[in-house]
Amino acid sequence: MKVRVDKESCIGCGVCVSVCDAVFELGDDGKSKIVAEYVEKDDDTESVGTVPDDIECVKDAVEQCPTGSISTE
């Protein structure tokens, strides 16, 4: 699945990293990003990657992100 973090709305709370560190980490700017293993695009506004469908914690991160900054397709 495709996973996208909207860095403009991310507040760097770290919840996504706590629930799904196989996919998310905090970058030097304090915002969430897709880990190196899966990332395809990462800039100031967004981080996008393709993650294996069997990594189910992505769904938890989507549901628990307080700003709705994570989306999948």
Q: Give the footprint of ligand SF4 on this chain (CB under 6 A).
A: 5, 10-16, 32, 65-67, 69-70
Residue placing its CB nearer to ligand SF4 in the complex, 48 or 70: 70
Rounded Cα distance, 26 and 38, in Å? 14
Pick 11 or 52: Cβ nearer ligand SF4? 11
Q: Which is nearer to ligand SF4, 16 or 39 (CB)?
A: 16
**Least distance to ligand SF4, CB of residue 37, Å:** 17
Contacts of 11 (CB under 8 A, 6+ apart): 66, 67
